[in-house]
Structure 1
C-alpha cells in the first residue's frame, strides 16, 4: 500500500511583522495615539498603563494585554504612579479566528509570557534596530541573522495567539473523554444534555437548571441518566467537572485555587473535597502521580 500525505489546515497565519518592541517608560510617558491597517497588541510586563481606544479608556496591570484590530485608534500612557514596561507587537494577519481578539483585554498565562519572552529574545537576534524606541516605524534586519531566526519569530507569534485562543475557549471543547463520549449513548436527548453540560462545565448547575434548559422533567432526567450511566445527572456533572480539573492540572497553566475559581467551586476546600471524593486522591496527589505526569502535554525546555 502506497503512503499518502495528509494536508494540514493552517487556521492562523501571520503574513508579516511590523514591530516588536519592549519599552521601559518613564512614569509620565504619553503617546498621543495612532491607527493603522494591521493588528497590534500592548502587554504590560511591569507597572500599569492607560490605553484609550475607540471603545473607551482602559487601565492595564501586570500581565494584561489589549488587542487593537486594524484601523482601531489607540493611545498609550503611563498612569503616573509607576514606570511601566510595555511590550508592543504589531503584525498582519487576515485569519478569521483573529475576530476572537477584537475588543479584548486578556491576561497572559505564565506559558504565554514565556513564549512572549522567546519572541523578544529572537527579535534581538534578528534586528539591529533597538527594541526600546517607541516611535520606530521600520525595523532593520541584521546583515547576518542566526539560522531560522526570522521563521521562529513568526512561529512563536502564531503559537502565542493559538495558545491564547485555545485557553480562553477551552470550555467549548469536550471536558473529558471516556464515559462522556456522546457516541456511547443511543439517546438523542442524552447527547443533547451532555453537550449542554460540556458547554456549562465552568458553571454551577442545579437539576432545575438542567431540566428547564433542556425541556425535560426532573424525574425523566434522573431516570435517563441512571439508565445510561448508572448515576444521577448531578453526579455525572460533578465527575465531568473533576475530569476537566484533571485536564487543567495536567496542562499546568493554573494553580489549584485558579482551577477552583475557573470551575466555579465555592471554595478551594470544597473543590479539594470533591476531587478527593470522586478521584480517590487530592489535587496535589494527582498532580504528582505517575498518571498525571505521563498524560501532561510535553513542552520544550
Structure 2
C-alpha cells in the first residue's frame, strides 16, 4: 500500500495587498514609504532608481528588487539618454505577506529575471484582471468600496498566490545556483559620494525619533549645507529632509497600525513639543489627519 509523501512548503503567501502595472513618464518621482508587508518592484521597460533602506539602487529592464517590511524605499524614473523608449518606465508592483522567512536572504539584492520568471509576472497581471470587474490600472487585488465582493473569475486570487510562490521559489534557487544573476546592492561602484550618502541615510534612520534638522545633519558630517544638498540629491533624487520626513511619517503610521501608543505618547516619542505640532506635521506631510489614518487603517480589509 502506498504511503503519502508529505509536501512541506518552503514558503507560503497568505495575503495580497497590491497588484499594479504602472506606466511612468520621464521625471516621475515617488517620495517614498515604508509598510509592514513585503513588496516587489519589477522594471518591465526603461530604468528606475531610488533608495532601499540605506542603499541606493538602480533597476534595468528585466530586474527586480525586494522591499522588506518596515524598510523605507522610494522610486524615480531614470531612463538612459540613448534609451529606445526615452526615459519612460513601466513597472510592476506586487505586495504580500505570509510565512516568508527565507526571503530575508534577498535583502539588498537585485535579481535579473529569466524569460520564465518574466512570464510569471505577466500571468499574475492577467489573473489580477479577473479578481474584480473594474478598469485596468487600479489595484487589481483590492477594491475599497467592495473588498468582499466575489471574484470575477473563481480562483483568481489563488492563482496569483500560486504564481507568486513559483516566482519566489525560482528566485531562491537562482540565488543558490546562479549567483551571477543576483547582484548585491548598490549596483553602482561605491565612490566617495555614495559612501557619504549611505552614512547620511543611516544617520537619519538612527535619529528617526529625535526630530532633527538639516543643520544637525550637515553639522554631524562636517559638510556645508550647499554641499550636502547637492550630494544627496545627485545620488538619490531627493532632498535630505524629504527623505527624513517620509521616514518619520512611515514610522508614525507603523505605530498607529500597531496601536501601541496614543497620539500624545507618539508626539512625545517623536520629540515634538506638543500634540498640536505633531498633528500639524503629520497633516502637512500626508494631507490627512492622524485620526483619519487611524480609521482607514482599521477599515481596510483584504480581499
Runs of 4+ in 1 over 6 A off after TM superposition: none
The alignment of Structure 1 onto Structure 2 pairs a total of residues equal to 170
Matched, 1:89 2:88: no
Alignment correspondent of 2:29:
30
User: Aligned-pair distance for 1:40?
Assistant: 0.3
Alignment correspondent of 2:42:
43
Describe the superposition over 1:185-217 as per-residue Cα deviations: whole angstroms up to 9, x where unpaired: xxxxxxxxxxxxxxxxxxxxxxxxxxxxxxxxx
When residues 137 and 126 of structure 1 are mapped into structure 2, their CA distance, relative to the original with a 3 A threshold, is: closer
Matched, 1:65 2:72: no
Cα distance between partner residues in 2 of 1:144 and 1:94: 24
User: Aligned-pair distance for 1:147?
Assistant: 2.9
Query: In structure 1, the residue corresponding to 2:13 is in which secondary structure?
Result: coil
User: Aligned-pair distance for 1:106?
Assistant: 1.1
Describe the superposition over 1:159-196 as per-residue Cα deviations: whole angstroms up to 9, x where unpaired: 01101111221169xxxxxxxxxxxxxxxxxxxxxxxx
Task: Tell me the TM-score normalized by structure 1.
Answer: 0.52
Alignment correspondent of 2:168:
161
Describe the superposition over 1:224-243 as per-residue Cα deviations: whole angstroms up to 9, x where unpaired: xxxxxxxxxxxxxxxxxxxx
Task: Tell me the TM-score normalized by structure 2.
Answer: 0.52
User: Aligned-pair distance for 1:27?
Assistant: 1.1
Cα distance between partner residues in 2 of 1:69 and 1:138: 24
Of the structure 1 ranges 109-118 and 124-133, higher mean CA displacement relative to structure 2 is found in 124-133
Cα distance between partner residues in 2 of 1:82 and 1:171: 30
Q: What pairs up with 1:72-221 in 2 under 5 angstroms?
A: 72-79=71-78, 82-133=87-138, 140=147, 143-170=150-177
Describe the superposition over 1:23-81 as per-residue Cα deviations: whole angstroms up to 9, x where unpaired: 01111211111000010010100011112121222121100111111001011111265
Cα distance between partner residues in 1 of 2:160 and 2:51: 28
Bigger Rg, which one:
1
Describe the superposition over 1:145-169 as per-residue Cα deviations: whole angstroms up to 9, x where unpaired: 2232221110000001101111221
1:38/1:71 contact within 8 Å kept: yes
Cα distance between partner residues in 1 of 2:150 and 2:123: 21
Q: What pairs up with 1:229-268 in 2 under 5 angstroms?
A: none
Gaps spanning 5+ residues in structure 2: where?
80-85, 180-303
Cα distance between partner residues in 2 of 1:109 and 1:152: 20
Cα distance between partner residues in 1 of 2:170 and 2:22: 24
Output the aligned Cα RMSD.
2.4
Query: In structure 2, the residue corresponding to 1:8 is in which secondary structure?
Result: coil
